[in-house]
């Protein structure tokens, strides 16, 4: 499915509610680099210490809320 979608859209976006390093985006990048290179936008929590709080607040802080995702898509 990853290859099919990348061939159709020329771009893949992954969104993770945890660290991006070693996550889904990394696995997608590995598949694409070996089979069909395409642009990958990885959204999630960058390399930082985690913190506690309300899920809605943390999602917004780490820019994985709906508005941030849509905004990122408009610039990529």
∠ CA 67-73-76, rounded to 5°: 145
For position 40, which CATH number holds? 3.40.50.920
CA–CA distance, 12 with 39 (Å, rounded to integer): 6
Give the domain extent around 17. Answer: 2-75
How many other C-beta atoms are found inside a 10 Å radius of the C-beta of residue 45?
Answer: 21
Looking at residue 59, its pLDDT comes to: 94
10-residue stretch averages of pLDDT, the chain, 76 residues long: 94 92 94 94 88 93 92 77
pTM: 0.81
Domain count for the chain, please give it.
1
């Amino acid at each position: 499915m990853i290859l099919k979608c990348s061939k159709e859209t020329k771009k893949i976006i992954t969104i993770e509610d945890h660290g991006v390093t070693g996550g889904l985006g990394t696995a997608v990048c590995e598949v694409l680099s070996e089979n069909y290179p395409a642009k990958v936008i990885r959204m999630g929590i960058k390399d930082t210490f985690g913190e506690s709080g309300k899920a809605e607040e943390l999602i917004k802080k780490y820019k994985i809320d709906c508005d941030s995702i849509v905004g990122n898509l408009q610039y990529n």
